[in-house]
Amino acid sequence: MSDLVEVRDLAVSLGRGRARREILQGVDLTVRPGEIVGLIGETGSGKTTLARSLLGLNRIDRGTVSVTGTEVGSLRGEALRAFRRAGSVQYIFQDPLQSLDPDLPLGRSVGEALEVRGASGIANRVAGALERVGLDSALAARLPSEVSGGQRQRAAIARAMITEPRLLLCDEPVSALDASSRTAVLELLLRLRDDEGVGLLFISHDLGSVAGVTDRIAVLHHGRIVEAGATAQVIGEPSHPYTRLLVGSAPTLDDAGLDRTVRAALRAQLA
């Protein structure tokens, strides 16, 4: 089966005139179906720029960006809009209170992509999507401000999954949540991967958040991938000084390289 994401020698510059600078330099990255890949790096390392490039939101200087079999870097105008509307790639943002319309009930936000397509049976599909992420379908009538942070993020995931995507781009999806909600959302993402076969690119500055749920990790530093490999290998035997710094500054990592809260959740899930 072909890769969901295949990025080769990607370079992206942002800004104008003398302020223009190269954000990504020679980046290579793959995500396979049913795989969770962690993209780790500090603020300003280029993580979000890479994610936006996967959606065709940035012009690329060189290299190729293939997403679900489509060469995104060459798309323009209506072809790019059609790629986004297809729903095969969905983005889950850091703060659901910002990404969900505060004036729309959760059900309207979850089903908005179906409304745009003129689909039928939207109410039933919204109820099913909410239940799929562990929410009572009655919450469809609530505003985002009327539910908890964890419930909002689950609703955001339901909105992403309702189009039956092949790839989820998760940009710091648990950093705005408390510990219990964080663990619940990580469990949910694991279950979606296992049940739906969706691939995930999990973007974070926090190695502890991704260590327990990812298959592979790519470390982004100053716009370059400085280390990549199986999660256990990268964490257990980091080869780059920046990776060693990240591992050393993640106090919740145990000897096996797993976030202890995630380890507990996984044990409960497998019990």
197 and 246 co-located in one domain? yes
Domain shared by 67 and 181, yes or no = yes
pLDDT at 208: 78
The boundaries of the domain holding residue 195 are: 5-88+165-270
Q: How far is CA 53 from the centre of its chain?
A: 13
Give the sign of the dihedral formed by CA 37, CA 5, CA 172, CA 165. negative
Burial class (CB in 10 A: 0-12, 13-18, 19+), 26: middle
Assess if residue 126 is contained within a domain. Answer: yes
The answer, yes or no, to whether residue 24 has pLDDT greater than 70, is yes
* Residue carrying the six token digits 């790519």: 218
CATH of residue 231: 3.40.50.300
pLDDT of residue 251: 59
Q: Domain check: are 171 and 157 in the same one?
A: no
**Max alpha carbon distance in the chain (Å)?**
58
Query: Tens of pLDDT along 91-117?
Result: 998 888 888 999 999 999 999 999 888
Q: Are 241 and 183 in the same domain?
A: yes
> Are 193 and 261 part of one and the same domain?
yes
Give the Å distances, CA to CA, from 250 to 63, 124, 210: 33, 43, 11
pLDDT, tens digit, 9 for 90 and up, residues 84-98: 888 899 999 888 888
Alpha helices in 63-214 (DSSP H): 77-85, 96-99, 106-117, 122-132, 149-161, 179-196, 207-210
Residues 180 and 236 in one domain: yes
Output the DSSP codes for 187-241. Answer: HHHHHHHHHH--EEEEEES-HHHHTTT-SEEEEEETTEEEEEEEHHHHHHS--SH
Mean pLDDT computed over 9-19: 92
Domain match, 123 and 239 both = no
Residue 207: pLDDT band with limits 50, 70, 90? confident
Q: Are residues 84 and 123 in the same domain?
A: no
pLDDT, residue 183, reads 84
- CA contacts within 13 A on the Cβ side of 204: 24
Supply the pTM of this predicted model.
0.87
Number of structural domains the chain divides into: 2
Cβ neighbors of 219 (< 8 A, separation 6 or more) are 40, 41, 225, 226, 227, 228, 234, 240, 242, 243, 246
Q: Are residues 119 and 202 in the same domain?
A: no
